[in-house]
Structures are given as structure tokens and as C-alpha cells.
Amino acid sequence: MGNLMRYRLERVGAMPAALESGVLYVSDEYETAAHLCACGCGSKVRTPLGPTEWMVDDDDEAGPSLHPSVGNWQRPCRSHYVIAGGEVHWSNAWTDQQVEAGRHGEQHRRDAYYFALNRSRFGRIFDWFRRIFRR
Ligand SMILES: [Zn+2]
């Protein structure tokens, strides 16, 4: 186990059944990315892609980046790392408390996103009402 892993990006339609280490698979069709855990334990890590999920930046020269960090707290290795420019940057293993906080963070991000969506929708209706009543 160590810091040896680098990732390259591979675009696929459906995810292959067997993943190769050091490859970050991205399926636009299924809006998901998958890779084998950077510690070398062989765990498959699936990360859904979307505005409230993970995002992949594809840089041809440096290599792919995956945001936010990957926390494999359900696996025995509890690896926690960021893939940036094709390189693995390790963070400390998560304690149970951090896992809990991370989950809250995720929920919060999602709430904030949908709140902003709703607000802009209501905002538009509100403007429409204002225009009618001004006449
Ligand atoms: Zn692992």
C-alpha cells in the first residue's frame, strides 16, 4: 500500500465488469465514474456524477481530477484521498465522527442546491405576479 497510484481517464459506455487499477472510468451515459481504490485493496469505488455528486475534470496533460475527495469508509481500508491531475493525494483515514460530518456535509450541499433551484423558480413566479399587480 502506498502512494504509487496514478490515474488516467478512460471514457466508456457501460462500466466494464473488471476494472483495471490506475484507470478512472467515466461513463457519460450512466453519469457515473468508477475506479479501483487507490490503496490497492481492490475495492471498486463508484462515484455518481452530477452537480450535487462528484465531478471529473479531464486534463489531457496532467490527468483526470475527481472532486470532492473519495472516502471509502465502508471498506476495511477506510482510504480517504483526492485524485487531482491524475495523482493521488492522501488524506487521513476518517474517524466515525468525520464520516458522520461528511455525510451531513453532503446532505447540506444537496439541500443548498435544491433550495437555490426552488428559490429561482419561485422568484420567477414572484416577478410575474409583481408585474401583473403593478398595472
Ligand atoms: Zn482500499
Distances, alpha carbon 16 to alpha carbons 2, 5, 68, 86, in Å: 25, 20, 23, 20
Say how many Å lie between the CA of residue 13 and the centre of ligand 1. 25
pLDDT for the residue 108: 63
Helix segments in the chain, DSSP class H? 96-134
pTM (two decimals)? 0.69
pLDDT for the residue 1: 47
Say how many Å lie between the CA of residue 81 and the centre of ligand 1. 10
pLDDT in tens, the chain (135 residues): 445 679 999 999 999 999 999 999 999 999 999 999 999 999 999 999 999 999 999 887 889 999 999 988 888 898 989 999 999 988 876 677 677 777 666 666 666 666 666 666 555 555 666 666 665
pLDDT for the residue 131: 66
Say how many Å lie between the CA of residue 131 and the centre of ligand 1. 58
Say how many Å lie between the CA of residue 105 and the centre of ligand 1. 22
Closest CA to 32 of 43, 45, 20, 19: 45
Say how many Å lie between the CA of residue 108 and the centre of ligand 1. 27
Amino acid, res. 114? Y
